[in-house]
Chain A
Amino acid sequence: MSFSLAQILLCIVAYLTGLFAVAYLADRGLISERITRHPATYVLSLGVFAGAMATNGVMELAYRYGYSFLLYYGGVVFMFAFAALLLLPLLRLCRVYQLSSLADVLTFRFRSPRVGAIITVAMCLTLLPLLALQIQVVADSIHILAGDAGSLFSRDNRQDGLALLFCIIITVFSILFGTRHVSAQQRNTGLVTAIAFESLVKLGAMFVLLIAAVYGIFGSFAGVEQWLQQSPEVKNALEHSRHDNTARTLLVIFFAGAVCMPHIFHMVFAENTDSSDLRTATWGLPLYLLLLSLPVLPVTWAGIRLGQQLPIDYSGLAMGLELRSTTVSAAAFVAGLSAASATIIITTLALANMCLNHLILPTRLLQIDRDINIYMQLKWLRRSLIGILILAGYGFFIALSGTQTLTQLGLVAFSGTLQFLPGIIATPYWPSANRKGLIAGIATGLTIWFFAMLLPLAGQFSIPLVSALSDHALAAGDNHWANAVLVSLTLNASIFVLVSLLTSTSDDERVAAEICSMDDSTRPVRRVLSLHSAAEFGEQLATALGEKTARSEVNRALNELQFSPGESRPYALRRLRARLEANLSGLLGPAVAHGIVERCIPFQAGPQGATEDLYLIERKLDRVQSSFTGLTADLDNLRRHYRETLDNLPIGVCSIGTDGEVLLWNRSMEHITGVAPREVLGSLLDSLPRPWRQIISDFQRGDSHTLLKAEVARDSGQPCWISLHKADGGSDGRSTDTVILVEDITDFELLEEELLHNERLASIGRLAAGVAHEIGNPVTGIACLAQNLEYETDPTEIRFAALDILKQTDRISRIVESLVNFSHAGSSSSGEVSLAPCNLADCVDEAVHLLALDREAKPVQFTNQCDRELVVLANSQRLLQVFINLLGNARDACDDYGRVDITADCTDALVTINICDNGCGIPAELQAHVFEPFFTTKDPGAGTGLGLALVFSIMDDMNGSVSVSSPLSDGPNPGTRVTLQLPRGSYGNTFDA
């Protein structure tokens, strides 16, 4: 039974049209997202791993190496079952930094465009046998179906034309559905759905072959068992590789293939949108491969039993011919066709991205015109590369003349990509690895691979050194390829390690190594950008990308990060820069993207600001907190505890970087300033609203570490008072940030105001008796004069009496006025202290006069020796209160013959007033406490302990100071000196005017 070429062509076209339809419908959304976005679709799309090797080549593996054929699947199963070891770290890197290929990852990790170029060239070379394998399966299948099974290896009779047609259709499909998005990181829904569909077709076809083998060839499952018992050589062959190194080599090769093969890498990482899908794949893909591998042994045994001339790879087609079943033949053909097409499409797509990002763009083989739409240029470049790569694969297939078995082609391709395994393992696990080691290792491994694996494939090269190597060093029967693979990998890894250890690693590589590091111990460095807004980013990027593309990329990054176009916060700008680099990496590759961003959006040079990005670290820790266990969880809990404590402190805490970036802002700061942490964290101090911007930045820049009191005018009109303290840097000298404590002392200030008023009233109370007496005397005098006036007739006497009465009433008025003034002083609710020039001597006189009203007090002698012309800048009423309190205290400290001298000196700016008494003095140990509220040495009930505290507060309000020294002399009356300092004042213009 054979098919005509037209029938075969129709079958190919029908199948590929179906594939086009699925991809088109998925892209247009006509297939429900529940299907296209379902994890099962993603898992099935990973079935791209099972190329023609899985539908055909693996049968030869089973035939030659027995159970070891399972390692073809086992390597991938192992990689996915233990995804957390390698796949998840790589997925994290690829997701965050928009990396879409192995070359992207290694270029990003080793910070070298050269690494990317070498990997790309090597990858293209190593994958040519794989592409040739896929094309050969299709070509051979067409050949067999067309009825020329007997002359399969005759080049003249092969249907290379149909194979070429197949390649062209595949090229069109790849271009239409694989390059829809400009960034390689964006998911091509149509492509993924089509590949998943192909996996289903493949599986269905393989099960048809299983049924055909079991029931068509052997009769039943029991028939298979029976045949196996009767064929001990077949059963023994299952254990073929048990005692040599073939099995281990196969496991290593296919384990590496799961991550080093570009088509698998592309499907696993570039087309993945959700890490939970990868988790599903950790058991889903092994399950799929288990089902796919179930038919392999029965079909292979069926092929052996039939004993046809056909290679064992085509046992499915042999069964179709034997059973004369169109269904079985078609199933065998479609299985190979679907597997080959899926592999070719994804492989060339991935290789095209790599060539574009690592060969064309960095080396400027083709110039991108910035004035024309860059996206379209990139898209067409990628499309052209896909065509070229498929044609290259076809060319390699033609060159080989079909002389190699599928297994040989597959093993050469897989063992080639195996050389990238040391680099990919080092990416998350070995931060000391460097690019020199990587390049040296890969060069060594690939050289051995080239001479020991690729050249022998062609079969016509005989190089003495290679022959000697094959005959002696690698010789081990027909398994010398396994030795060659192990030798190449061992030398590759050894040289990689040695060169990395012996050579220096660049700073750039160290940073990238920390980012890629598996233990995630990296502390993001907070560096200071040279640009200050997103708009400036766009302007600078325009020099490299063109204005339109730059604007589009900046807007895209802003949208993804949900930042506003006017963004200027340093933290946000750093994130924007990283996102732009990641997005450009998806577009142009990591090497070019890194170069553009470094050039256009540079960080400032120098160490300033190079502290850890605490905000970013905290966000990261918050995000992954659930995965912490043991000591790490304890540490995280401790961190949270301290963080909460800091946040809940009743004192405002903020931390400011040297560049003015706000790094910490707790809840109390929000309560005091009304500015929420989310509004200010990561921003510059300049972005704070008034008046906080001025207060905090002045204090940060100032020399003083403490500001006891600052008045802040709020928008509501209610004033508030704060005290500020700051600490610069850390004790270890690493941190250059400033920590500022802000305490709201408004309540304290208001209470102090109230106490001041109460103290004043108390003073008035104490003076009341004296006042009554003082007023009583003139009133008595007035009464006597009034009585005399009643009988006086002499006008002159009457006039003198009237004058005396007026004098007495003036005296009363002065007393009352003094009291009223005193009682009202400082009772202003606004809390503002207005300072004005006032005569010092007059103020002292008035205080002395008021104190003299107290008749019960000791008759101490007050001597005012102040210059009558001396003027201070103060509030006269409050200054009066100061003197009342100080002179009153001095009087209380003296005995009946005490003496209190008030003197004053002045400089250009300051007036120093000394109040000296010869009282009992103040013990040295108490002097530090005399200005504290409620501290008194008087008997209970004799003093409130607020007098000197209020003096301190008032002097501070008036920009003055007060201090105490005692004793002044030896003896029973050592005395005390209270020194006041006030700004010097002048009536100046008041009189001039």
Chain B
Amino acid sequence: MYINRALLLAVGVFIIFSPAVEDWIFHAESIWYRPYQLWLLVIVAAYWNQRSSYPDEL
């Protein structure tokens, strides 16, 4: 069992860009469902990640 390095990279990116993302979400003119757009992006990334994973590494 090894950690997927892409995931570690994603965690790093998430931490680095979280202030910018926060600003983007809380922008005065932003629409109220903007956080959901980000959420959808996470789902797409998770879907893409699990597709490229190995069938059973347990």
Interface check B58, CB cutoff 8 A: yes
B43 touches A286 (CB 8 A): yes
A279 at the interface (CB under 8 A from B): yes
Residue B39 at the chain A interface, CB threshold 8 Å: yes
Interface residue? A519 (CB, 8 A): yes
Number of residues on chain A facing chain B (CB within 8 A): 43
- Which residue of the partner chain A has the closest CB to B47? A283
Q: Is the CB of B42 within 8 A of A239?
A: no
User: CA–CA, A82 to B46, complex, Å?
Assistant: 8
Known: A81-B45, A239-B26. A518 touches B56 (CB 8 A): no
Closest to A80 in B: B46
Q: How far is the CB of A94 from chain B (nearest CB, A)?
A: 10
Stretch in contact with the other chain, from A83-91, A325-333, A533-541, A668-676: A83-91
- State whether the Cβ of A627 lies closer than 8 Å to any Cβ in chain B: yes
Across the interface, A276 reaches (CB within 8 A) one of B7, B10, B55, namely B55
The answer to whether the Cβ of A290 comes within 8 Å of any Cβ in the partner chain is yes
In the complex, per-residue mask of A270-287: 1 if CB is within 8 Å of any chain B CB, else 0:
000001100110110011
Q: How far is the CB of A40 from chain B (nearest CB, A)?
A: 14
Q: Are A82 and B10 in contact (CB under 8 A)?
A: yes
* B38-58 Cβ-contact flags toward A at 8 Å (1 or 0): 011011111101100111111
The one of B10, B39, B50, B53 in contact with A77, judged by C-beta atoms closer than 8 angstroms, is: B39
Which residues of chain B come closer than 8 Å to A705, judged between CB atoms? none
**A242 at the binding interface (Cβ < 8 Å):** yes
Choose one: B1, B2, B42, B53; the contact of A279 (CB below 8 Å).
B53
Across the interface, do A290 and B39 meet the contact criterion of CB distance under 8 Å? yes
A703 contact set on B, CB distance < 8 A: none
Residue of A at shortest CB range from B3?
A: A84
- How distant is the Cα of A279 from the Cα of B54 in the complex, in angstroms? 10
CA A632 – CA B2 in complex, angstroms? 10
List chain B residues, Cβ under 8 A from A282: 46, 49-50
Q: Are B25 and A84 in contact (CB under 8 A)?
A: no
The reply to whether the CB of B17 lies closer than 8 angstroms to some CB of chain A is no
Q: Check if A968 is an interface residue, CB within 8 A of chain B.
A: no
Does A89 lie within 8 Å of B1, measured CB to CB? yes
Tell me, yes or no, whether A907 is within 8 Å of chain B by CB. Answer: no
Chain A, interface SS category: helix
Residue-wise interface mask of A (57-85) relative to B, using a CB-CB cutoff of 8 A (1 in contact, 0 not): 00000000001001000100100111011
- B44 nearest CB neighbor, chain A only: A283
**What per-residue 1/0 map shows which CB atoms of B18-50 lie under 8 Å from chain A?**
000010011000011101100110111111011
Find chain B residues with CB under 8 A from A88 CB.
Answer: 1, 57-58
Whole-angstrom CA separation of A631 from B53 in the bound complex: 19
Say whether A283 contacts B56, CB under 8 Å: no
Could you tell me the distance in whole angstroms from the C-beta of A956 to the nearest C-beta in chain B?
56
CB-based contact B1/A518 at 8 Å: yes
Residues of A close to B7: CB separation below 8 A: 82, 84-85
Q: How far is the CA of A482 from the CA of B22 in the complex (A)?
A: 20
Given contacts A85-B7, A518-B3, contact A275 B58 (CB under 8 A): yes
> Are B50's CB and A626's CB within 8 A?
no
- CB contact under 8 A between A626 and B22, given known A82-B7, A290-B43: no
Please give, as numbers and ranges, the residues of chain B lying within 8 Å of A628 by CB-CB distance. 2
Q: Which residues of B contact A726 (CB under 8 A)?
A: none
A290 & B3 in contact (Cβ 8 Å cutoff): no
Contact A290 B40 (CB under 8 A): yes
The answer to whether A82 and B11 touch (CB under 8 A), given A280-B50, A627-B54, is: yes
* Chain B positions within 8 Å of A279 at CB level: 50, 53
Determine if A856 is an interface residue (Cβ-Cβ < 8 Å): no
Which chain B residues border A283 with CB–CB below 8 Å?
43-44, 46-47, 50
Nearest B residue to A92 by beta-carbon distance? B58
CB-CB under 8 A for A242 and B22, given A77-B39, A627-B2 = yes
| B-chain residues with CB within 8 Å of residue A74 when the two chains form the complex | 39
A238 to B22, CA, bound (A): 12
Contacts of B33 in A (CB 8 A): 294, 297
Q: Is the CB of B39 within 8 A of A286?
A: yes
Interface residues of B toward A: which range? 20 to 34
Pick the contact of A290: B4, B26, B36, B49 (CB < 8 A): B36
In angstroms, Cα B33 to Cα A238, docked, is 11
Instruction: For A234, give the chain B residue with the smallest CB separation.
Output: B32
Distance between Cα atoms of A235 and B11 in the complex (Å): 30
Q: Which residue of A lies closest to B10 (CB)?
A: A82
Verify if A228 is at the interface (C-beta below 8 Å from B): yes
Closest residue on chain A to residue B53 by CB atoms: A279
Nearest neighbor of A221 in chain B, beta-carbon distance: B33
Give residues 606-629 of A contacting B (CB, 8 Å): 624, 626-629
Identify which of A80, A276, A293, A520 contacts B2 (C-beta below 8 A).
A520
Using known A-B contacts A77-B39, A85-B7, determine if residue A95 contacts B1 with beta carbons closer than 8 Å. Answer: no
Bound together, the chains give a CA A283 to CA B50 distance in angstroms of 8
Contacts of B25 in A (CB 8 A): 67
Q: Give A629 to B36 CA distance when docked, in angstroms.
A: 35
Q: How far, in Å, is B57 (CB) from chain A's closest CB?
A: 5
How many Å lie between the Cα of A582 and that of B7 in the bound state?
Answer: 31
Complex: A95 Cα to B57 Cα, angstroms = 12
Q: How far is the CA of A235 from the CA of B29 in the complex (A)?
A: 11
Q: Does A95 lie within 8 Å of B58, measured CB to CB?
A: yes
When distances are taken between beta carbons in the complex, the residues of chain A under 8 Å from B44 are: 283
User: Which residues of chain A are within 8 angstroms of B42 by Cβ–Cβ distance?
Assistant: 77, 81, 286
Shortest CB distance B54–A (Å): 5
Q: Which residues of chain B are near A297, meaning CB under 8 Å?
A: 32-33
For the complex, give the distance between the alpha carbons of A92 and B1 in Å.
9
A residues in contact with B5, CB < 8 Å = 629
> Is the Cβ of B32 less than 8 Å from the Cβ of A228?
yes
B2: chain A residues at CB < 8 Å are 519-520, 627-629, 632
Q: Please state if B56 and A275 are interface contacts (CB–CB under 8 Å).
A: yes
Q: Tell me, in angstroms, the Cα distance from A276 to B26 when the chains sit together.
A: 37
The distance in angstroms between the C-alpha atoms of A70 and B58, with both chains bound, is 32
Taking the nearest CB of chain A, how far is it from the CB of B26, in angstroms?
A: 5
Q: In the bound complex, do residue B4 and residue A84 qualify as a contact, i.e. CB atoms below 8 Å apart?
A: yes
Min CB distance, B9 to chain A, in Å? 11
Q: Give Cα A224 to B32, complex, Å.
A: 10
Indicate which residue in B3, B46, B56, B57 contacts A85 across the interface (CB closer than 8 Å).
B3
A66 closest partner in B (C-beta) = B26
B58 engages A91 (CB within 8 Å): yes
Q: Are B1 and A626 in contact (CB under 8 A)?
A: no
Smallest Cβ distance from B14 to chain A, in angstroms?
9
For the complex formed, measure the closest distance between the CB of A724 and the CB atoms of chain B, giving whole angstroms.
42
**Which residues of chain B are near A520, meaning CB under 8 Å?**
1-2
Residue of B at shortest CB range from A95? B58
Closest approach, in angstroms, between the C-beta of A278 and any C-beta of chain B?
A: 9
Q: Specify which chain B residues have a CB less than 8 angstroms from the CB of A80 in the assembled complex.
A: 46
What's the least CB distance linking B51 to chain A, in Å? 9
Chain A nearest CB: distance from B5 CB in Å?
8
- For residue A70, give the distance in angstroms from its CB to the closest CB of chain B: 6
Contact B26 A242 (CB under 8 A): yes
Residue numbers in B under 8 Å from A242 (CB-CB) = 22, 26
Among A96, A279, A293, A624, find the residue whose CB has the most chain B CB atoms closer than 10 A: A279
Closest 8 CB pairs of A and B: A283-B46, A283-B47, A279-B50, A81-B46, A92-B58, A84-B4, A627-B57, A282-B46
For this complex, 24 residue pairs linking A to B, each with C-beta atoms less than 8 Å apart, are A70-B39, A77-B39, A82-B10, A82-B11, A84-B3, A84-B7, A84-B53, A88-B1, A92-B1, A92-B58, A225-B31, A225-B32, A235-B32, A238-B26, A238-B32, A239-B26, A279-B50, A283-B47, A286-B39, A290-B40, A518-B3, A624-B1, A627-B54, A627-B57
Query: Which B residues contact A (CB, under 8 angstroms)?
Result: 1-5, 7, 10-11, 22, 25-26, 31-33, 35-36, 39-40, 42-47, 49-50, 53-58
- A residues contacting B by CB (< 8 A) are 67, 70, 74, 77, 80-82, 84-85, 88-89, 91-92, 95-96, 224-225, 228, 235, 238-239, 242, 275-276, 279-280, 282-283, 286-287, 290, 293-294, 297, 518-520, 624, 626-629, 632
Given contact pairs A70-B35, A81-B46, A287-B43, enumerate 18 new A-B contacts (beta carbons under 8 Å): A77-B39, A77-B42, A80-B46, A84-B3, A85-B7, A88-B58, A96-B58, A224-B32, A242-B26, A279-B50, A282-B49, A282-B50, A286-B39, A290-B39, A518-B1, A624-B1, A626-B57, A632-B2
